Amino acid sequence: MALNKKTVDDINAKGKRVLVRCDFNVPLKAGEITDDTRIKAALPTIKKLLNDGGKVILCSHLGKVKNGPNEGESLAPVAKRLEELLGQKVNFVSDYNVTGEAATKAVEEMKEEEVVLLQNTRFRGAEETKNGEQFSKELADLADIYVCDAFGSSHRAHASVAGVTKFITAKGGQNVVGYLMEKEIAFLGNAVENPVRPFVAILGGAKVADKLNVINNLLEKCDTLIIGGGMAYTFLKAQGKEVGLSLVDDTKIDYCKEMMAKAEKLGKKLLLPVDTTVSKTFPDPIDAPIEVEVVDSSAIPADMEGLDIGTKTQALFADAVKTAKTVVWNGPMGVFENPTLAKGTIAVAKALAETDATTIIGGGDSAAAVIQLGFADKMSHISTGGGASLEYLEGKVLPGIAVIADKN
């Protein structure tokens, strides 16, 4: 699924109104942005369009907006930070209607190389999340060209991601992807569809259920599949091992058996933890000091639960990564928010930082872990979208990519 989509390099935005769907869903604390990674990631596309002489109209969602429009989920802090990063004025349209009279007027008055930021697209509720025709058309009415640069939202068929493109096409406009989308798809797409081998995939996280299709798809593509995190205990139980109080999904035991049989049939290595860091209790609060011991995976005491991979497993997993040429990692190896239980995740991050392979971190918790632990600059690519990268690794066609024009 390598990218054969039109990109911002295939258009000239001079004098044109360009609607860019960004992913400005940034974490806020008391109205202040605590991590502006996603805003910085959007800058290359925005600057390219401004340099072309385009009129750049930005839109994004922020938060889940469960209780209707509110100032706490307004994009006002984003506008402020964006101004600082771009070094120019950003005209923020604070109207909760998003595409109402205020937005129309702001766009009409735009000159070349100016920036307008619309209000949170989810302030339109189901019109956005259910891909409403009217809202899609209103967004398209503001622009001549549409650019999707929101990989983190591209797995959702929302009005600002998918619906808008139909109306842009209807009036002879173009739909293209931005640099961030291009980079995401190039890394993830090449890793899965055309990897330099050996290709090692590492999956962690708590639930097997979240990764069912990913395991199935990656087993066909990779040479070695490593499974850690909470989901490993369902696999260990499927092997007939006792797992004590560890997290297990009993409804997925047969599935795990099928996957182990599939790995054997395809001649793939499937690595599971050989030892486990266990404790009698789950840490509360999550970063509280905790007493642990390391036991063999076949000897987990009945009154204890596994909360991280053990030391032998750290070495086993690190060893598998050493000879790899491509590594994709999605999901932590344990309760990484706790210093005592972060050792497995740190060991994997360190192994990835030291390998010569192309290393791709699939968003979500593994991205947070790598950034938090200080290994971000050692990775080839850290995805900006957790759910989107997972669906991509499942082999799904993402709605936000499907609607973009192919290169001729």
User: In this structure, are 173 and 193 located in the same domain?
Assistant: no
Confidence at 371, pLDDT banded by 50, 70, 90:
confident
Residue span of the structural domain in which 209 resides: 187-393
Please calculate the CA angle 268-357-206 and round it to the nearest 5 degrees: 60
Whether the per-residue pLDDT at 346 is higher than 70: the answer is yes
List, for residues 58-96, the tens digit of each pLDDT value: 999 999 999 999 999 999 999 999 999 999 999 999 999
User: In this structure, are 203 and 107 located in the same domain?
Assistant: no
Those residues whose C-beta lies under 8 Å from the C-beta of residue 144, and which sit 6 or more positions away, are: 16, 17, 18, 168, 171, 173
Q: What is the pLDDT of residue 3?
A: 64
Q: Is residue 274 part of a domain?
A: yes
Percent of all residues in the chain with a pLDDT value above 90, rounded to a whole number: 77
Last residue of a domain, one of 160, 180, 200: 180
Q: What is the mean pLDDT of residues 312-319?
A: 97
Last residue of a domain, one of 142, 164, 180: 180
Q: What is the mean pLDDT of residues 185-205?
A: 88
Report the alpha-carbon distance of residue 337 to residue 320 in Å, rounded.
25
Percent of all residues in the chain with a pLDDT value above 70, rounded to a whole number: 99
Q: Is residue 286 part of a domain?
A: yes
User: In this structure, are 13 and 141 located in the same domain?
Assistant: yes
User: In this structure, are 51 and 20 located in the same domain?
Assistant: yes
Name the residue among 120, 199, 185 with its Cα closest to residue 151: 185
User: In this structure, are 290 and 361 located in the same domain?
Assistant: yes
Q: What is the pLDDT of residue 401?
A: 87
Q: Is residue 343 part of a domain?
A: yes
Last residue of a domain, one of 124, 147, 180: 180
- Flag the least confident range among 9-18, 70-79, 385-394: 385-394
User: In this structure, are 192 and 176 located in the same domain?
Assistant: no
Please calculate the CA angle 194-199-205 and round it to the nearest 5 degrees: 110
User: In this structure, are 307 and 163 located in the same domain?
Assistant: no
Q: Is residue 401 part of a domain?
A: no
Q: Is residue 193 part of a domain?
A: yes
List residues with catalytic annotation. 38, 207, 364, 387
Whether the per-residue pLDDT at 1 is higher than 70: the answer is no
Whether the per-residue pLDDT at 364 is higher than 80: the answer is no
The answer, as to whether pTM is greater than 0.85, is no
